[in-house]
Amino acid sequence: MAATKQSFFGRFAEKTTQYSGSTAVFVSAVGLVLLWAATGPFFQYSETWQLVINTSTTIITFLMVFLIQRAQNKDSLVLHLKLNELLAATKGASNRLINAQDFSEEEIKLIHQFYCLLAEKAKEDNDLGETHSVEEAEDNHHEKLAAHRE
């Protein structure tokens, strides 16, 4: 699949996010803070001098939160797509989990309980790789219990 053309904002946000995480930007930010601190005596540590750093850092932080969240959303979606591909391609994997990120909180809790039960059954059976569903785990567990009772 060919890469699609991103919007101007998409390209800008991606480049800004990459650049803002670089060593050069960090060193520059430290340098600006040191420069600001060094000018304190010249400005007699006035309220305006303090307001400059407070306002600057607040604005930068405010804007960066949105860029970072945008990058996180994209990374999260890509991760989900990759996991969905693995689920869809793996024989025996439950396709119920494809697009699990779209489930409601209640559905996620229910599925979590499902897998907790499956994990408990697997612990009881001492065989983590054998079962693929709670039903199979319960059947195997009952068969083993029956065999031990005989």
Q: Over the stretch 3-31, which tens digit does the pLDDT of each residue have?
A: 567 889 888 888 998 999 899 999 999 99
pTM given for the model = 0.60
Q: How far is CA 147 from the centre of its chain?
A: 45
pLDDT at 138 over 90: no
Burial of 137 (0-12, 13-18, 19+ CB in 10 A): buried
- Least-confidence region, from 56-60, 94-98, 116-120, 136-140: 136-140
Closest by CA to 78, choosing from 101, 95, 109, 111, is: 101
The whole-number average pLDDT for the span 68-83 is 90
Half-sphere exposure for 80 (CA within 13 Å, toward CB): 13
What the block records as the tokens of 143 is 């068969």
Closest by CA to 122, choosing from 131, 113, 114, is: 131
Task: Assign 127 a pLDDT band (cuts: 50, 70, 90).
Answer: low
